[in-house]
Structure 1
Amino acid sequence: MGPEFFAHQASIVLGSQDIHGCADVMFNFHMDTVGPFFPVRNLRGGIHGRGAADNKGPGVAILEGIERWAANHPPEKRRPRLLIQCVAGEEGGAMGVYGTKQLMELGYHGSLNIFAIPSGGAYFDSSTCSMTLELFVDGKGATDDAPHRGDNASLILSYLCAELARQMGPICSRTDVRMTLAGVATGDMHNRVYGTGRAQFNFSYRTTRSGELVKSAVTSAIETAGFRFVDIFGGIDVFTRTAMRLDQILTVRWLKSGLPVLTNRNADWERKLADAGIKRHADDAETFTCDAMWGQGRGYSIMWGPGSLSTNGAHTSSEHIDFADLDQFADQVAALLFIASYEVTGAAACQT
């Protein structure tokens, strides 16, 4: 991904004044959604549809909150500088790499960076991050007439996945890392040996150190599992070829790793948020992965929004949001901006 790729990404930056330089408050919301699409329909007191909670509904509520503040702003009071980022590239494992990351690196951030996300109404000032491992087998298939002549990707992947789950489970528990064994794919016919296939693991970590420890442990676990695979299946006629060719046909790679996590505090902004009736999650155990991680070290960055990922069915066919939650969120946005209007923050506050 180079300059030409980034130049064609669908991110929008709006500013109440000059968009260059540090703003007082920056709002960020993503317009991309997970699939599949399903029709929008009105509910009694709310709306049901893809992106209703994550993240189009909160994005619209931010704009409404800014409008409420602007319509009632005392003319004699200072207007805080605002930035609004509307980005793509947050969902589907993109992690904001070609949306938020680019904008933050270009200097589009504030003293307070608000990343809209369903967070139960209170805000998080820490996030997790994730890394994704792929096991890919590229061998030669066969039929059930001569299964011994094929490289059995199904056997390789199922064994390695089971071994990785067994070995990494306790390690992930000790390091507070969430492990997800995702899709395992080879084929769906009963009379074939599939020579190609892939499997993926996702590891969600709270600290860079724990991510590094797990990544190193995965490398060791795969090596151990490979030795055991050859030892177990090398002497079984129908699988001898597969075992002997394991090193030639198996590729292990990290689709993403080494990405940062968000972890920051700011007493001044925490007080202002509290004055606006916006609570901080005292326990970050329920925090999650968000492109807010790119706000680390660029002002005080928080993840905040109406509804919750689970209760409001984000990423599911039951995704919905209540109008009352959006309305309350808009009121809180306006209240925060009124407080920011009464207290000069200035560009110097962009450093935490």
Structure 2
Amino acid sequence: MTELTELLSELVRVPSVGGSPHEAGIQAMLADWMRAEGLDVDLWELPLPELTAQPAFPGMEVPRERAYGLVGRLPGTGGGRSLMFNGHVDVVPPGDLAAWTDDPYSGRVDGDRLYGRGACDMKGGLVAALLAVRELKRDRPRGDVLIACVAGEEDGGLGTYGLLDRGWRADACVIPEPTGLAVVPANAGALTFRLRVPGVSAHASRRTAGVSAVEKFLPVFTALRELEAARNRDVDPLMKRWDVPYALEIGTVHAGDWSSSVPDVLVAEGRFGVALGESAQQAKAALEAAVGKACAADPWLAEHPVTVEWWGGQFLPGRNPDPAFTAAVVGATGVTPEQWGAPYGSDLRLLAGAGIPTVQYGPGSIELAHAPDEYVPVSEVVAARATLTRLAAAHCA
């Protein structure tokens, strides 16, 4: 276990925030680890201009000058099925440092908990996969075992999109995202949107001479909450464990440019949950219709409607196309784990969309991801490593 915690602490201490130089640097570190373990290594710079120009590109929310793809391959002895472990190396920013007990990148171990940004989401799962591959070297299966380390998952899926574009495939895939050791064969989607609410500027002392964009946003926000409630009344059975499986939230609001002026524009950005089986076009049409209905009910907005823009990460929903592989992952756990669909987007939809049976299974709770004092239970990382080892040995035999 010491080796496991040392490796995980080392990775957590790398502040590999999406778009930062460390997001690229951690890939070089992992490539060195793979080479030292005797894996075949493919480390390449992602062709960003080429990828981002493709119609199917899933979006990107942070600027990047460069990013890298990385695949390590443990060659099989021949004749078996291949299996990929896919884990993202990018993490979200730590947020308010005062909310953390200590350094967000400490990698500190306290009992069964290893703390730090990315420990749960998802370097714990990545380490479980890395050490599973190491264990498989002792009794190598017939099929290849791949471990893909990808960048840009948090803001759209750049790394896995680039991985598939490069031609990497496998007969099945496990993403060791934090599921609390549950087996997750499906994900909701999430689309990023921007609203622009128009108003008319005036001196605040004569506010009735203007039109407040903040005030005009209120009925739109109410309409969005009503839309969310309607979309969550009847959901797929896999999603019933969540109180709001397809959440719609406004994450940022910016209005006006002076405290003594009536704000003439409000810009709000948010995420829109996409239901299992729903297309991006259907989801976008539903939100645009709700905004349009709210505008039609207000005399000012009827003449000056709110505009909707779709930008940034565009996570479509996804579902594992092969129930037999889900059953294989369940069997490899050695217990009877929970099975549910995740309310957030992930790279599952890109891999399943490419025809690769894919499930999520990994250590840590999603409630801890992106939060202060993020941690992963070390015992769950150990359990995930054992499951992934058993799964690969059986699947690739």
Answer whether TM exceeds 0.5 for this pair: yes
Farther-moved stretch of structure 1 (111-120 vs 144-153)? 144-153
- Taking the aligned partners of 1:54 and 1:228, their CA distance within structure 2 comes to 43
Alpha-carbon distance between aligned partners in 1 of 2:323 and 2:347, rounded to the nearest angstrom: 23
Residues 63, 281 of structure 1: alpha-carbon distance in 2 compared, 3 angstrom cutoff = same
Distance 1:187 1:149 in 2: 16
8 Å Cα contact 2:141/2:393 also seen in 1:
no
Q: 1:100 to 1:4 in 2, by over 3 A?
A: closer
Instruction: Mark the structure with the bigger radius of gyration.
Output: 1
- Give the letter aligned to residue 156 of structure 1: K
SS at match of 1:191: coil
1:47-62 equivalence runs, <5 A: 47-62=114-129
- For the pair 1:203 / 2:272, whether they are aligned, the reply is yes
Stretches of structure 2 that go unaligned for 5 or more consecutive residues are 1-47, 54-64, 96-103, 237-244
- 1:134–1:252: 8 Å Cα contact kept in structure 2? yes
1:238 corresponds to: none
- Matched AA of 1:181: E
Q: Distance in 2 between matches of 1:147 and 1:51?
A: 47
Instruction: Name the SS of the counterpart of 1:136 in structure 2.
Output: strand
Secondary structure, counterpart of 1:55 in structure 2: helix
Letter in 1 for 2:382: D
1:26 aligns with 2:87: no
Q: Distance in 2 between matches of 1:221 and 1:244?
A: 13
Say whether the 8 Å CA contact 1:69–1:335 is kept in structure 2.
Answer: no
CA distance in 1, matches of 2:391, 2:286: 45
What is the 5 A alignment of 1:97-246?
98-137=158-197, 141-174=201-234, 178-182=246-250, 183-186=252-255, 191-209=260-278, 212-230=281-299, 246=304
Q: 1:122 to 1:145 in 2, by over 3 A?
A: closer
1:273 touches 1:279 (CA, 8 Å); kept in 2?
Answer: no
Where in structure 1 are there 5+ consecutive unaligned residues? 235-242, 344-352
The CA distance in 1 between the partners of 2:228 and 2:326, in whole Å, is 38
Deviation at 1:117, TM superposition (A): 0.1
Equivalent residues of 2:187, 2:318 under 8 A apart: yes
1:239 corresponds to: none
Pair 261,110 (structure 1): closer, same or farther in 2 beyond 3 Å: same
2:363 matches 1:306: yes
- Which residue is 1:319 aligned to? 374
Which deviates the most, 257-266 or 151-160?
257-266
Is 1:339 aligned to residue 394 of structure 2?
yes
In 2, the alpha carbon distance for the partners of 1:205 and 1:279 equals 31
- Residue 251 of structure 1 is aligned with which of 307, 325, 328? 307
Q: CA deviation at 1:258?
A: 7.3
Q: Report the residue type matching 2:88 in the other structure.
A: H
Contact 2:274 2:316 in 1 (8 A): no
Aligned length: 317
How far 1:303 sits from its partner (Å)?
0.8
Q: Determine the C-alpha separation between the residues in 2 that align with 1:34 and 1:27.
A: 21
In structure 2, C-alpha distance between the alignment counterparts of 1:163 and 1:274, rounded to whole Å: 41
Range 288-297 or range 268-277, more displaced: 268-277
Q: Deviations over 1:166-185 (max 9, x none)?
A: 35532442466623232333
Q: Could you state the TM-score of these two structures normalised by the residue count of structure 1?
A: 0.78
Aligned to 2:50: 3
Equivalent residue, structure 1, for 2:10: none
Q: Which amino acid is 2:85 matched to?
A: F
SS at match of 2:121: coil
How much does 1:252 deviate? 1.6
Note closer, same or farther for the CA distance 1:258–1:322 as it changes in structure 2 (3 Å cut).
closer
**What does 1:284-299 correspond to in 2, within 5 Å?**
284-286=340-342, 288-296=344-352, 297-299=354-356
Is residue 156 of structure 2 the alignment partner of residue 95 of structure 1?
Answer: yes
Q: Which structure's relative contact order is higher, taking Cα pairs within 8 Å and 6+ residues apart?
A: 1
CA contact (8 A) 2:185 2:326 kept: no
- In the TM superposition, residue 134 of structure 1 has moved relative to its aligned partner by 1.8
